Structure 1
Amino acid sequence: MEWRDHGILLSVRRHGESAAIIDVFTENHGRHAGVVRGGAGRRMAPILQPGAQLDLAWRARLEDHIGSYHAEPLRSRAAAALSGRVALAGLNAVTALLAFCLPEREPHPELYTRSEQLLDLLENETLWPLAYLRWEMALLEEMGFGLDLSACAVTGKQTDLAFVSPKTGRAVSREGAGDWASRLLPLPPVMRGQGAAEDSEIVEALRTTGYFLQAHLAPAMGDKPLPEARGRLADLLSRRL
């Protein structure tokens, strides 16, 4: 069995004296692990950094074996990750969330494209927070926990939407919320692609998406705790205000 693809390196761990096992989000084969011979050596270790874009050739005797990778660099994101605290925290959050929720060997080509585009914006601190929020909403959608923000779940109206139901992920208007408003999550305009996308709105929106990651997505992953890297990024963006 063999195939060739390109992908985003999510994690790497040493295997034996000089090899490494890498976990990669590939475009056509999903999240897929494999052994890189010499992956812990002087030549390959600088290449095998989380977030790196790799050209990969995978080979195994049987399809269900872990197999081995031959990896060549397409694009390093190490310099971009070190350009600032937000960039480094962002790269760690993206790779950790993908490793956390993606099932093994299940293709998600649209999410792959979104992830690649997001990581290419790491050095742009102006655009990146909004791009990250949109990516996180897309991640929830891809995993089956998408938010329906098109109309009020109570009245059916499409105006004055201000809240999100923590149970259903549907939008709720001020009128529809009534006395239940304090029990609902905020719906800042940026989540519907409206307004100026101020940092304060993005931080508020990340609290809402964070709730669904924690309360809905994480239990579906076998009650594994949400990666700490995601919380660190949200805290860092909050402290920037």
Structure 2
Amino acid sequence: MEWRDEGIVLAARPHGETSVILELFTREHGRHLGIVHGGTSRRKAPMLQPGNQLDAAWRARLESHMGGWSVELKRSRAAAVLSDALRLSALTSVCALCSFVLPERETMGAFQARTETLCDAIVDGEGWLTDYVGWEVELLAIAGFRLDLSACAVSGGANDLAFVSPRTGRAVSRSGAGDWAARLLPLPEMLVGGAPSIAGVVAALELTGFFLKQKVAPSFGDRPVPPARERLLAALRAEV
């Protein structure tokens, strides 16, 4: 078995004395693992940092085997944001969440392309905060929990939406909430067309984070949401 693809480094874990298990989010083969022999060497280790773009060839005797990678660097995103704590946190959060949520070896061409675009935006430093929020909302949907913020779950109307049901992820209007308002989650304005701001991004990520913890994590055996994601939120709160 052999194929060639391009993808984003999600993680590289030590394997034996000098090798690593490299996890890539590839364009045509989804999230895929393989061994990189000599991956801890001075030449290869810098290439295998989360967020970097690699050209990779995967080989194995059988498709069910883990196989091995031969890799070449296409774009070093990690080094480009190393001096910016906020953007570095965002890049590592993207990679950690992909590793946490995405199924292995399932092609996700559109979402992979969106993830590459987001990683490039983080490196370029333009408009990435809004893109990141939209990306997390889509990630929730991929994980099996789609937010429905288009209309009130009670009345069906699309006006004065102000809350989100913590049980269903559906929007609720002020009038529809009634006496239940205190039990609902606030709906960030930027998720329903409001102007983006750092405070709005924090509010939006607090909402998506709630569902990552309460709905997504339990479906994966109660594994905790990756700490990288929490570090990003803490860094954003410090900017408010």
TM-score band w.r.t. shorter chain: over 0.9
Match of 1:136 in 2: 136
Q: Deviations over 1:8-44 (max 9, x none)?
A: 1111122223222101111111111101122111211
Q: Deviations over 1:72-112 (max 9, x none)?
A: 11111123221311111111111111111112111222221
- Distance in 1 separating the partners of 2:83 and 2:112: 23
- Distance in 2 separating the partners of 1:204 and 1:78: 27
Check 1:143–1:18 CA distance in 2 against 1; reply closer, same or farther (3 A cut).
same
Match of 1:225 in 2: 224
Matched to 1:107, the amino acid is T
Q: Residue 176 of structure 2: SS of its match in structure 1?
A: helix
2:153 pairs with 1:153: yes
Matched to 1:158, the amino acid is A
Matched to 1:225, the amino acid is P
Matched to 1:31, the amino acid is R
- Distance in 1 separating the partners of 2:197 and 2:180: 27
| 1:169-184 superposed matches below 5 A | 169-184=169-184
| 1:52-91 superposed matches below 5 A | 52-91=52-91
Matched to 1:164, the amino acid is V
2:89 pairs with 1:100: no
Match of 1:35 in 2: 35
Q: Give the superposition deviation at 1:124.
A: 4.8
Identity across the alignment (%): 54
Q: Give the superposition deviation at 1:125.
A: 4.7
Query: Is contact 1:29–1:106 with CA below 8 Å preserved after alignment?
Result: yes
List alignment gaps of at least 5 residues for structure 1.
Answer: none
Check 1:56–1:126 CA distance in 2 against 1; reply closer, same or farther (3 A cut).
closer
Q: Residue 45 of structure 2: SS of its match in structure 1?
A: coil
Matched to 2:168, the amino acid is T
Q: Deviations over 1:133-161 (max 9, x none)?
A: 11100101122211011100000001100
Match of 1:119 in 2: 119
TM-score (norm 2): 0.96
Q: Give the superposition deviation at 1:206.
A: 1.0
Match of 2:5 in 1: 5
- Distance in 2 separating the partners of 1:224 and 1:12: 19
- Larger deviation, residues 144-153 vs 74-83: 74-83
Match of 1:200 in 2: 199
Q: Residue 159 of structure 1: SS of its match in structure 2?
A: coil
> Any runs of at least 4 consecutive aligned residues in structure 1 with deviations exceeding 3 A, and if so which?
123-126
C-alpha RMSD of matched pairs (Å): 1.3
Query: Is contact 2:77–2:123 with CA below 8 Å preserved after alignment?
Result: no
Q: Deviations over 1:40-69 (max 9, x none)?
A: 112111111111111111010011101011
List alignment gaps of at least 5 residues for structure 2.
Answer: none
Matched to 2:166, the amino acid is P
Q: Deviations over 1:194-239 (max 9, x none)?
A: 1221211111111111111000010111111111111111111011
Check 1:166–1:122 CA distance in 2 against 1; reply closer, same or farther (3 A cut).
same
Match of 1:240 in 2: 239
